[in-house]
Chain A
Amino acid sequence: MDLFEKISSLDRRWIFLVIALSILIPLLFPFTQPLEVSPDVRAVYEALAALPEGSTVLCSFEYGPSTLPEVHPMARSVMRYLFQRDHKVIVMALWPDGLFMSRDILDEIAVGEYQAEYGVDYINLGYKAGNEVVIKSIAESFSRTYPVDTRGQSTTSWPIMHGIENLANIDFIFSLSAGYPGTVEWVQYAADPYNKPMTTGCTAVQVTEVVPYVRSGQCAGILGGLAGAAEFEVLLMEKGWLTELGAGNRGMAAQSVAHLVLVAFIIIGNVAFYVERRRQRKF
């Protein structure tokens, strides 16, 4: 077997090994690189920036630990921005594990960094089963959908919920999403029927599903995957809302190397394929 044949029928475990190394090494020895902010990420920022200070923003957490590396950095940036602009933040989750994600973020950002007051500046309504049905039902009433919050107290007893009967009183929806139910359901059952502005931070996989809604204007911009998170961090830093880049940019180093290694593999594979095919024609 000569070199090209070998490359063409390479045991996939070699590929696995190289991929693992190409992520592990940059993770241990990180570096940063310049980023260009894409228009979709800018659109997210502009939609948020258009909100007057003190608006009520609904943040919904539809992701779990497995997609945490992608969505968590976005959630952090968004929360930082919202608290700096004194928005009131209502947090909920349509995924059971979304609750733990939101708790983690709120503990870190709201409590840790901004000393925001629970029940006044933000509230965590928690997880409710029922997928899009929950969205339809908060369109009618928050207090009936979520009689108690995650602290086990009656939702309406908190000052932040005064005057917030249902979706109509929400100024903006931010969906942090990794699948079903997620951004698509928020567009279909909340933004669309009630004409609410919304935007999304989602996994790169979901981007294809969501992008048609972005193009048609039903969703204002999109933060797609780790790259979206990294770009958003850069943009917030540019605008003075962040003092340092976060996990999004750190991960991008490993991401970049892995991508290029993968592309190199594909190119080598094609060269081998081309050479082999030419040889076959000769005989």
Chain B
Amino acid sequence: MKPGNARLAALAVLLCLGAAPAAAQDAPAAPPAPPIDLTAEDTPNDRGHAIALSWVLSPDDDGSGRVTGYSVWRAEHREGVAPADLEWRRVGSHSPGHLGDDRLTHTDVSDNIVNGRPYLYRVRTEGPGGSGEILLPAAIAARAQWFNRARWNMLLAVLVLSGGIMYWIQKAQTSDIYLRPVAGLKAFDEAIGRATEMGNPVLFVPGIMDMDQIETLAGVSILGYVGKMTARYETPLEVPVSRSLVMAHAREVVKESYLQAGRPDLYNDDMIHYLTDDQFGYAAAVDGIMLRQKPAACFYQGKFYAESLILAETGNSIGAIQIAGTASPAQLPFFITACDYTLIGEEFFAASAYLSQDKRSIGSIRGQDVGKLIFMVALILGVFLVSLEAVGIQLPSWLDITALFDVSSGG
């Protein structure tokens, strides 16, 4: 119902009341008719403890104001006890239906619903004239499911993609895989080389987020490579971080890099130091480090938010070579404009494999490409099929490719 209509309806009710005040006082409004056809079922694909109810609107629920809403009541069913004698609890309410609704639904989720026990429900129409109720004809029990069927296509996607990637990880150990050049990655050596020539430090920022983000993990992997280079060239490395867990992780990784490069003597825990968890507090402090230590190369590899441009512009003003890499789509434009090189999205995730030249990691990139290929084919095929449907050609249901990618119902 449009808001205007509702207001009109309310006005009409008021007018009627005004026209017949005596009648309204003498005969109180009749209680609204109860809802019709109350059904209940266990909600599928959940941990139980939930029942989905559905009923047809009360005939009086027509916007006239006689129904102000519905209340939902639950009681545990006991054999041989009349429904009226059960212990009823009000467990929910529902606003009146709108014009055009044929059924209303209400899901009762509560840990008080014990899985496997039978419950009865009743739904009441509430109104100024009283209430009318309907009882669920048969008891219902909630159950937990072991598999969420609505997620079948996600399971398929996980299996296909993981399968593809794992296949190529295996295969890569015996075969060579071509990887196209990525401009930003070639610049890593150049940047560290320049810092070495100038005798200035290399600054590495692994993003501002914590270890629960894959971007941070990818950034620290790249740091592992940068650490190897700075160890080899004996260039000072400066890694300010904004999360303690990242500090701990980065120390393990960089220590290992220095060990592998044969220069554990150059490693020092204080190269990787914590500043603050705060986004802008961190940016302010890193700006200070940049201006006072004048790093010749700045790496920003990880998950970034608005501080990206603060860092990159300050880095630019001191004339450092800057290489950024992130999967934060919103920050890519700033890195692109302010940095010399930027690893975009997927390139950033591929970087550690590119840099380490580890065969299995390279295989996983080939696996990603297989995923892309599947997606590309699906796109073309899908668009073709839905276009056929749109012009009125009936297709068999197994050709419905949109169902394959419809993950919105999966919850």
Chain B contact residues: over half helix, strand or loop, or mixed? mixed
Of B108, B110, B317, most buried by chain A (CB within 10 Å of CB) is: B110
Whether the pair B95, A140 counts as a contact (CB closer than 8 A) is no
Whether the pair B95, A52 counts as a contact (CB closer than 8 A) is yes
> CB-CB < 8 A to A66: which residues of B?
280
Question: B244: CB under 8 A from chain A?
Answer: no
Question: B372: CB under 8 A from chain A?
Answer: no
**A48-80 contacts to B (CB < 8 Å):** 49, 52-56, 66
> CB-CB < 8 A to A169: which residues of B?
92-94, 106
Whether the pair B3, A53 counts as a contact (CB closer than 8 A) is yes
A205 in contact with B411 given A52-B6, A163-B92 (CB within 8 Å): no
**Shortest distance from the beta carbon of B220 to any chain A beta carbon, whole Å:** 19
Whether the pair A209, B109 counts as a contact (CB closer than 8 A) is no
> CB-CB < 8 A to B2: which residues of A?
49
Pairs across A and B, CB under 8 Å, 21 listed: A52-B1, A52-B6, A52-B98, A53-B3, A55-B95, A66-B280, A163-B92, A163-B93, A165-B91, A165-B92, A165-B108, A168-B109, A169-B93, A169-B94, A171-B95, A179-B305, A205-B306, A205-B330, A208-B330, A209-B329, A218-B408
Contact with A along B79-112 (1 / 0, CB 8 A): 0000000000001111110100000001111110
Question: A180: CB under 8 A from chain B?
Answer: yes
Residue of A nearest to B52 (CB): A168
> CB-CB < 8 A to B280: which residues of A?
66
> CB-CB < 8 A to A53: which residues of B?
3, 6
Chain A contact residues: over half helix, strand or loop, or mixed? loop
Question: A141: CB under 8 A from chain B?
Answer: yes
Q: Which 4 A-B pairs have the closest CB atoms?
A: A163-B93, A193-B411, A168-B107, A163-B92
- Choice from A56, A165, A166, A209 contacting B330 with Cβ under 8 Å: A209
A193 in contact with B410 given A12-B317, A180-B305, A205-B306 (CB within 8 Å): yes
> CB-CB < 8 A to B6: which residues of A?
52-53
> CB-CB < 8 A to A179: which residues of B?
305-306
Question: A194: CB under 8 A from chain B?
Answer: yes
Question: B162: CB under 8 A from chain A?
Answer: no
A206 in contact with B330 given A162-B93, A179-B305, A193-B411 (CB within 8 Å): yes
Given contacts A163-B94, A165-B92, A179-B306, 10 further A-B pairs with CB under 8 A are A85-B3, A163-B93, A168-B106, A169-B93, A169-B106, A179-B305, A192-B411, A194-B411, A195-B409, A208-B329
A9 to B106: give the CA distance in the assembly, Å.
66
> CB-CB < 8 A to B91: which residues of A?
165
